[in-house]
A and B are shown apart, each in its own frame.
Chain A
């Protein structure tokens, strides 16, 4: 996890409000980057940078709400805080439904914004952690041989070595060796641990075919 510290990305077409937001956010020790439009942000932002987005609803070009949708579609998962000069209820409902952290009406209280930013960063961090954990598990899974990958669902489904051997037409001893190898490569401490890892990787169990 050798990534840059979390950054608050501010997108607002009003330069002086941008500057004021920068000063405010920096005063609590966070990094800030300013953008005048959604395009500017898309062009310069490194795709994997952690942080959150403070987004004006009324942007030149596409609206903030449309931009939020577009981000989700292109797979950029970054928490969004909306700020607006005149927010109405339907607009804020739409924003919140689309996953916005907060919907603030200008002029807003500084603490409200800073709290929302904290929540957003926390959520981003958690999401990133989950993502990196899963990618670690996926690495382990990829280190399995084809045969082991085939056996893993059968093992976690709770079938006995004897049954699995019958399923795939091999000896019980061979299955036993494979199982030990899977446990080692997946770094599973116990059978329960292996089941948990498999479920996080979304490995589906084969249809139970008990004889």
Chain B
């Protein structure tokens, strides 16, 4: 009886005056009943009073406790002495009935002690189990077969913000399920009804509507073969989830950095490797011109210089070819990706930049975006590059709010991502040149970002372009083919 739990749990505390009076009254009532029946039965069963009074003492001790039980012993002894032991109707005790009376008295005391001790042990056991439930470190909700809440524990109240009185007796199964997950919850309820245990990581809502990531364990409780009740047990894993996400982010950042570093080293090495033959070409070219300018021109020397030029130009070409081959070796690692999640990840990375740039961010991410297949780090680089470009383009804007809009959408074949800002925008004649290597409009720019981004997107089977806009700003879009078999 759940309702009685609270009263019983309060047993150890000083009982209220009324409750004490009631318990002692109860003892008087039991003894009085025993007396009444003893008197009624006395003519037929002269010794039945012993059993009846002992029963009265046991009942008083059980229901009333030690004090009332003791009272029952005293009154019963007096009543027995007065009414049933000779001399009858007299409190005096004749010598030969003393052993009988003492036997009765000891029996009554023993019965009372046994009764109250048993009761106390029972209560202690119960209180112990209650505390176990109450103090369990996980949030627990106990449901009856109709899905109504029977009990919740303290952790449940703390985790979800509901008080016991608010939920007990009311449908509990859907109470903390966010609207968008009702279908999933209904499915797990069905499995529960079939007697299965459901264990998953999911999202649940607090009373105030805020969401938290939990691990949910739904367990049917069966007695014999019969399901009698369901346990729902929750553990808050928001923190560990967040830690895992942070770790993943850090890893992505690291991968990004190491790529950038590799790129920097690569560029330095290209510069040196290509610079040598170019220096030779320039020198040979100058020498050839000088030999040619002589009177008469020294054609043998010219020929030698020119063949040197050809040789060194080929050498420079070979260097480039080697670098190409090297880049190809770094084949992208293709995995199915949720672009929305990646966009959110990149925005998290760029958060401080967005804040510093005073940018108002607006995301319109399609809810049912199919996955795409791609290299996480490469695509992150593309999105980050476009976002950073937008932030840079809006730095000098002072007359209007700086707005960055990021949209994702899809049609039957492709997923489209749009990154639009209201920054300085691009000159019409630059709209294609910006994708050329080493073209930049930024004083510190290398002019590689968009060129690399485009080659990444094209390697993924998509397109990256600059959509003409009428309003001030720029609108970059890229598509990626949606993945077959995942949609």
Contacts and interface: CB of A to CB of B under 8 A. Distances in A.
Interface string B251-268: 000000000000000000
B193 to A, nearest CB: 74
Contact of B287 (A16, A20, A85, A86): A20
Contact of B279 (A19, A26, A106): A106
Contact of B304 (A23, A28, A85, A110): A23
Given A16-B312, A20-B305, A86-B271, A110 B286 contact: yes
B298 to A, nearest CB: 8
Interface in A1-42: 14, 16-17, 19-21, 23-24, 26-28
A17 B274 CA distance: 12
Nearest to A22: B287
Nearest to B292: A27
B297 to A, nearest CB: 11
Contacts of A16: 277, 280, 308, 311-312, 315
A161 to B, nearest CB: 65
B301 A110 contact: no
A107 interface: yes
Contacts of A19: 280, 284, 308
Interface string B47-65: 0000000000000000000
B280 A23 contact: no
Contact of B308 (A20, A85, A106, A110): A20
A191 interface: no
Given A16-B308, A16-B312, A16-B315, A23 B276 contact: no
Given A24-B290, A86-B272, A17 B301 contact: no
Interface in B278-315: 278-284, 286-288, 290-291, 294, 298, 301, 304-305, 308, 311-312, 315
Contacts of A110: 282-283, 286-287, 290
A107 B272 contact: no
Given A19-B308, A24-B286, A24-B290, A85 B275 contact: yes
A17 B280 contact: yes
Interface in B386-412: none
B279 A27 contact: no
Contacts of A27: 287, 290-291, 294, 298, 301
Interface residues of A, number: 18
A110 B209 CA distance: 76
A99 to B, nearest CB: 24
Contacts of B280: 14, 16-17, 19-20
Contacts of A17: 276, 279-280, 283
A16 B285 CA distance: 13
A14 B284 CA distance: 14
Contact of A107 (B271, B282, B294, B298): B282
A86 B281 CA distance: 17
Nearest to B268: A86
B290 A106 contact: no
Given A16-B315, A17-B279, A107-B282, A85 B272 contact: yes
Given A19-B308, A20-B308, A23-B301, A85 B276 contact: yes
Contacts of A24: 283-284, 286-287, 290
Contacts of B271: 85-86
A86 to B, nearest CB: 7
A23 B305 contact: yes
Contacts of B287: 20, 23-24, 26-27, 110
Nearest to B294: A27
A86 B393 CA distance: 32
Contact of B276 (A14, A21, A26, A109): A14
A133 to B, nearest CB: 35
Contacts of B276: 14, 17, 85, 106
A91 to B, nearest CB: 15
B272 A23 contact: no
A28 B294 CA distance: 10
Interface string B319-361: 0000000000000000000000000000000000000000000
Contacts of B281: 20, 107
Contacts of A28: 290
B268 to A, nearest CB: 8
Nearest to B276: A14
A107 to B, nearest CB: 4
Nearest to B291: A27
A109 B282 CA distance: 8
A205 B214 CA distance: 100
Interface in A77-122: 85-86, 106-110
Contact of B278 (A21, A23, A107, A109): A107
A64 to B, nearest CB: 15
7 contacts: A23-B308, A24-B290, A26-B287, A27-B294, A106-B279, A107-B275, A110-B290
Given A20-B284, A24-B284, 4 more contacts: A17-B280, A28-B290, A86-B272, A108-B282
Interface of B: 271-272, 275-284, 286-288, 290-291, 294, 298, 301, 304-305, 308, 311-312, 315
Interface of A: 14, 16-17, 19-21, 23-24, 26-28, 85-86, 106-110
